[in-house]
Structure 1
Amino acid sequence: MSILFFVQGSTRLLLTKIPFFKEIIISSFSCPHCNWTNTEIQSAGRIQEQGVLYTLQVKTKEDMNREVVKSDSASTRIPQLDFEIPAFTQKGSLSTIEGLLDRAVMGLEQDQPIRKATDPAVAEKIEEFIQRFKKLKEVEEEFTLIIDDPSGNSFIENPFAPQKDTALTVTHYKRTPEHNAALGIEVEEEENDEKPGNDLDAMRNEVLVFNTNCPECNAPANTNMKLVQIPHFKEVIIMATNCDSCGHRTNEVKSGGATEELGTRITLHLTDPSDMSRDLLKSETCSVLIPELEFELGMAALGGKFTTLEGLLKDIKDLIVSKNPFMCGDSSTADRAEKLELFGQKIDKIIAGEMDVHIILDDPAGNSYLQNVYAPDPDPEMKIEKYTRTFEQNEDLGLNDMKTEGYAEK
């Protein structure tokens, strides 16, 4: 007769806020009797508006030290091994690339003794697979790591920030009904018998208010929405949320029109501090480039914004420097902190008019705008280019699979 003994360990919970991923709960379990420990994370904030797909080309051992936030709704793939960890099969974790691989190896090794006794052939194949996995840790050959998270709450570190990471590709996408069902999100379709024209007229003449939750403290709040006509441009929808509980304020801009036939690239040469007061509309599909700093901010990083050029630069500085989770704690290194601090100082010099730079707004959807202070005459310091989108850009915008004609055909 066997007797089972159950002893108690201790679990510690820490609610912490990471600006890129809202709030997370870190749980750490330890047992003083057998010394077993385990650490997990789970999102304490809301699900993001879009899913995110990270594709990393691992080329050096330094890449193995990149930090990774992987939520429980994220799937992980390594195409070279034809290996996949499906979503919801592992708890969320805060680790490194190497730690992610170690965790996968531990999962494969867990039942090997039983397999060797019951099915030696399968055990041998899995052992060969484990050895291939261990070779990946030594980066004897390049491989691709793909993390696909419909909730948008996963992240792979860019060690070269604020510069662009050539080995890392980040793609935001709209969730499918299947993704929403897996995440437990219900999308209700409301029937509206009123004519669209009447709805637009109502939006033009009044501020619409609807109930929502604060993105910071999740308390009930109100979001104000207004349709605004930007001179010499088009109509946009401005949404602003104010939370009476925590004081958080946020605003977001959505285009009021359709996707343009051509993309737009706006280049402004900053020649005077007064340029900082130019009105600016950055849609969620617009990327921002500063060639002199070798800096590129990808689409959807700051969402849609209606602000000034100075406001955009301050938001970029806050995102890269002030609110960067890898600037503090164990994640911070002297070299990284110094590099990002220097980047922040350069942004301050641009705002003060002490640096001669160019600001480029590149929007494949053509829904971004930068004020021309000489309107209706051309601006000598601003260049506006229209271009034909590539297949990849149409794919990112979801236009390749969109069909709007021929539904009546048999």
Structure 2
Amino acid sequence: MSVLSGPRPVSSVFREISAEDEEQQPAEIESLCMNCYENGVTRLLLTRVPFFREIIVSSFTCDSCGWTNTEIQSAGRIQEQGVRYSLSVRSKRDVNREVVKTDYATTCIPEIDFEIPACTQKGALTTIEGILERTIVGLQQEQPLRRAENAEVAKKIDEFIAKLQSLKDGETPFTFILDDPSGNSFVENPFAPQKDEDLTVTHYRRSKEQDSLLGIESSIGQQNSEEKKESDAEDLRDEVLQFQTNCPECNAPAATNMKLVQIPHFKEVIIMATNCEACGHRTNEVKSGGAVESLGTRITLHIIDPSDFTRDVLKSETCGITIPELEFELGMGALGGKFTTLEGLLKDIRDLVVDKNPFTLGDSCTSDRMEKLQEFGRKIDQILEGQMKVHLILDDPAGNSYLQNVYAPEQDPEMTVDKYERSFEQNEDLGLNDMKTEGYEENVTSCHC
């Protein structure tokens, strides 16, 4: 286990995937084969990919019986929100979409009442076809025994296998749902950076049961509530708070600074910035310091002048971004909360879609897809250079996003701000439909009586 031992810097433990990196060798461990109970070899590779960040790839091989097993485990942090992908599969091309599936992800096909619960399979980088094939093979393994013990059950399973085979071959349309409370799973969008009409991505807040599944203590919310009550008595507007955390890139100990800031003509926000001395990674995140607004906000800016790129932008984690001229739409939850300039926001979009897209690397990258993404990157550069005039739309159903009005307090001729009533689905995503804020004290009193 020479890869894992010794005083090696933390930043070099997880290395980028590269065929030219001669030092990137897996660690080999002699381990027991659970098939024949002879000794086999487990190989561990600690590496970093754009989407999963740090991952551990393990592969087991037994020379005695020939049994092999591979799996992927995420070594990165759990995301702040869970994610749910719903894909309408209509052809063989959709079945070939690549999927990143973690241990905590639940796979479901409603049309045939099919579900793979969380923590019943190891994480994998595969395709929808691969998931179905793995299920078919698993069901077929015990069929000879079932036919001998219970022919009726075996017949029903044969019928179910036939349905799965029809779905795998792309002969029958179906809905593929991948729900991961850890937020680390992914379903490929072959039309990126354009929106995929057949793919719906929803970010949501985890329940207490899901937090428990992920090993997150349920008492965290109570502790945060008590700390909030204590901090209400203090004026923290002129003070920078600091707390210890781990770097999201190299996992080394780092310090995060947090400050309450009043944005002119808007509201108070909490800005958090992390600077890692081990690898030099820097990141900032913005949280709203107020409540969810009664109305959603849609901000539309016509970018016509280079000076527009210096405007301050506050993008909350519930805000979606649309650029109609590029047929580009970024759902809420992507990029997280940010307080930056318009130029910085466009560069972050380009990095997310082009540079940090996991399907632009290795065998998963095709020339057509790469050309699309590079063309999108060139258009973003043209916008930043002032060669293309476009509209940027910030749509925040929580009403907590902001775009600087350089003419304030007068109206900006190139910017419109629209307030709108949220839909039921938007309130559901924000967790507002089940929230009761009226007559709460009366209900509590009546319960005690």
TM-score bracket, shorter-length normalisation: over 0.9
Q: Distance in 2 between matches of 1:395 and 1:263?
A: 14
- 1:182-221 C-alpha deviation (Å, 9 max, x unpaired): 1222143328778849637432120111122211222222
Paired residues in the alignment total 407
- 1:301-360 C-alpha deviation (Å, 9 max, x unpaired): 000000000000000000011111111111111111111011000000001110011000
Moved more, 136-145 or 15-24: 15-24
SS at match of 1:257: coil
1:397 aligns with 2:423: no
- 1:210-250 C-alpha deviation (Å, 9 max, x unpaired): 12221122222211110100011111000111112222111
1:242 aligns with 2:275: yes
| 1:216 counterpart residue number | 249
- Which of 57, 61, 64 is the matching residue for 1:26? 57
1:54 aligns with 2:47: no
1:346 aligns with 2:346: no
| 1:124 counterpart residue number | 155
Change (3 A) 1:197 1:375: farther
Consecutive unaligned residues in structure 1, runs of 5 or more: none
Aligned-pair distance for 1:121? Answer: 1.0
- Which of 195, 209, 218 is the matching residue for 1:178? 209
SS at match of 2:71: strand
Change (3 A) 1:198 1:119: closer
Change (3 A) 1:139 1:89: same
Q: Which amino acid aligns with 2:282?
A: R
Q: Distance in 1 between matches of 2:218 and 2:389?
A: 48
Q: Which amino acid aligns with 1:351?
A: L
Aligned-pair distance for 1:28? Answer: 2.3
Q: Distance in 1 between matches of 2:37 and 2:226?
A: 62
1:321 aligns with 2:354: yes
Q: Distance in 1 between matches of 2:391 and 2:328?
A: 11
1:307 aligns with 2:340: yes
Q: Distance in 1 between matches of 2:233 and 2:305?
A: 39
Change (3 A) 1:204 1:130: same
| 2:392 counterpart residue number | 359
Q: Distance in 2 between matches of 1:203 and 1:374?
A: 30
Q: Distance in 2 between matches of 1:264 and 1:109?
A: 53
Report matched runs for 1:78-89 at 5 Å: 78-89=109-120
2:36/2:65 contact within 8 Å kept = no
Change (3 A) 1:255 1:200: farther
Q: Distance in 2 between matches of 1:294 and 1:191?
A: 41
Q: Distance in 1 between matches of 2:394 and 2:227?
A: 37
- Which of 83, 104, 107 is the matching residue for 1:76? 107
SS at match of 1:53: strand
Q: Distance in 1 between matches of 2:211 and 2:198?
A: 30
SS at match of 2:237: helix
Alignment RMSD: 1.8
Change (3 A) 1:119 1:363: same
Aligned-pair distance for 1:108? Answer: 1.1
Aligned-pair distance for 1:26? Answer: 1.6
Report matched runs for 1:205-284 at 5 Å: 205-284=238-317
| 1:289 counterpart residue number | 322
- 1:91-141 C-alpha deviation (Å, 9 max, x unpaired): 111101100100111111121111111111111111110011101112222
Q: Distance in 2 between matches of 1:194 and 1:27?
A: 41
Moved more, 210-219 or 391-400: 210-219
| 1:162 counterpart residue number | 193
SS at match of 1:367: coil
Q: Distance in 1 between matches of 2:417 and 2:249?
A: 37
Change (3 A) 1:5 1:46: closer
Consecutive unaligned residues in structure 2, runs of 5 or more: 1-34
| 1:10 counterpart residue number | 41
- 1:347-382 C-alpha deviation (Å, 9 max, x unpaired): 000011100110000111111110111111111111
Q: Which amino acid aligns with 1:353?
A: G
- 1:249-285 C-alpha deviation (Å, 9 max, x unpaired): 1110001111111111111111111111000000000
Q: Distance in 1 between matches of 2:36 and 2:307?
A: 74
Aligned-pair distance for 1:40? Answer: 1.0
2:316/2:401 contact within 8 Å kept = yes
Q: Distance in 2 between matches of 1:230 and 1:41?
A: 43
Change (3 A) 1:311 1:195: closer
| 1:373 counterpart residue number | 406
Change (3 A) 1:238 1:193: closer
Q: Distance in 2 between matches of 1:320 and 1:355?
A: 19
Q: Which amino acid aligns with 1:92?
A: G
Q: Distance in 1 between matches of 2:397 and 2:42?
A: 48
Q: Which amino acid aligns with 2:168?
A: K
- Which of 91, 108, 111 is the matching residue for 2:142? 111
Q: Which amino acid aligns with 1:271?
A: I
Q: Distance in 1 between matches of 2:366 and 2:36?
A: 45
| 1:336 counterpart residue number | 369
Q: Distance in 1 between matches of 2:191 and 2:88?
A: 14
Q: TM-score, normalised by structure 2?
A: 0.87
SS at match of 1:205: coil
Moved more, 270-279 or 214-223: 214-223
- Which of 57, 67, 70 is the matching residue for 1:39? 70
1:388 aligns with 2:415: no
